Structure 1
Amino acid sequence: MGAGKTTVGRLLAATLGVTFLDSDHAVEARAGKPVQEIFVDDGEAAFRTLEREAVAAALDEHDGVLALGGGAVLDPATRALLEGHAVVFLRVGLSDAVKRVGLGAGRPLLLGNVRARVKQLLDERTPIYEGLARISVDTDGRSPQDVAAEIAAGLDRLPHRTEER
């Protein structure tokens, strides 16, 4: 959250000459309503199910850069889907994350004390992100263009396998 997944993902896709897809947008298209409404109307468990389905479909059908919602990797089935793919972890520190998400408007998981909640989410999720990532990039104090360039260079260094995207 606040790492720049969408911004960096779009830049990376342009650099690589491929399309970009945000899993939250795919979930919204499937559900016919915004993520915030899914959380309120149906709950987080329903959202995570839709998210897992959207990620599975994207990995099968989309041949470009896919930005995942920050909590997508909490689902073991989604983590299993990501194995063998060039997963990138955009590492963001607490201070930068809080600055980027502001008051958390439109972010269902940030109700209440934004700074404390972002810290809790980072503490819970970082070990999972690090375990899945083939490339990790620090984003604090850096431009999205610089981050995207580092990812592109890192992708060039990964062993290429036919099943990877």
Structure 2
Amino acid sequence: MSPRVVLIGPPGSGKSTVGRLLADRLGAAFRDTDTDVEVVAGKPVGDIFVEDGEERFRELEAAAVRLALAEHDGVLSLGGGAVLAEATRELLAGHPVVYLEVGLSQAVQRVGLASARPLLVLNPRSQLKKLMDARRPIYEGLAAVVVATDERKPDEVVDEIVKGLLP
């Protein structure tokens, strides 16, 4: 069993929104590894970061990705930082990975500067830029298809994924 599509990208790229629409279009199930982590931990991602630390969150995230890649056959959305783990990058080899690319200004609009996202607590715009710059080469290296999401409706992004990735 293997996901039909794996979505990666930074916060605000539209992984959850596009993922749900894509799953509907394909008649497949949608799964988000951040949600899986929250279920296992019994608390929101933000609380895991604050109470248990980023290292613990990354352990839970890596396990969630490993399990989802092994048992999910629909559309899978990974948390923005999941690709930081080398083991996760290795597991993604051979999967249909789509990088949802977003510019800083669009990401800021979508995420919001008053975000509860744990890695964006201090100076969110600057933190988001650093995060995006650092992760971009990883996202690009893993992707079979790169889809720009700036100034586009989610349905337009789904159309491009379907055209670019699926037979």
Q: Verify same fold: TM over 0.5.
A: yes
Cα shift at 1:104: 4.3
* Residue in structure 2 matched with residue 13 of structure 1 by the alignment: 23
Q: How does 1:9-48 map to 2 (within 5 A)?
A: 9-48=19-58
CA distance in 2, matches of 1:59, 1:16: 18
Does residue 77 of structure 2 align to residue 49 of structure 1? no
Select 1:2's aligned residue among 12, 23, 29. 12
Q: Secondary structure at the match of 2:100?
A: strand
Does residue 121 of structure 2 align to residue 111 of structure 1? yes
* Structure 1: tracts of 5 or more residues without a match: 158-165
CA distance in 2, matches of 1:140, 1:104: 21
CA displacement, residues 28-75 of structure 1 (integer Å, 9 cap, x when unaligned) = 111111111110111111101100100111111111001011000001
Select 1:140's aligned residue among 145, 150, 167. 150
Tell me the number of residue pairs that the alignment of Structure 1 and Structure 2 aligns: 157
Select 2:87's aligned residue among 77, 84, 96. 77
* Structure 2: tracts of 5 or more residues without a match: 1-10
- Calculate percent identity across the aligned residue pairs: 61
CA displacement, residues 95-147 of structure 1 (integer Å, 9 cap, x when unaligned) = 10111111242200001111111110110000000000001000000000000
CA distance in 1, matches of 2:46, 2:121: 12
RMSD of Structure 2 on Structure 1 (CA)? 0.9
Cα shift at 1:156: 2.1
Q: Secondary structure at the match of 2:157?
A: helix
The normalised TM-score by structure 2 is: 0.92
CA distance in 2, matches of 1:83, 1:104: 35
Cα shift at 1:89: 0.2
Go from structure 1 to structure 2 and tell me whether the alpha carbon gap of 1:104 and 1:154 turns closer, same or farther (over 3 Å shift): farther
The normalised TM-score by structure 1 is: 0.93
* Residue in structure 1 matched with residue 102 of structure 2 by the alignment: 92
Which 4+ residue blocks in structure 1 deviate beyond 6 angstroms? none
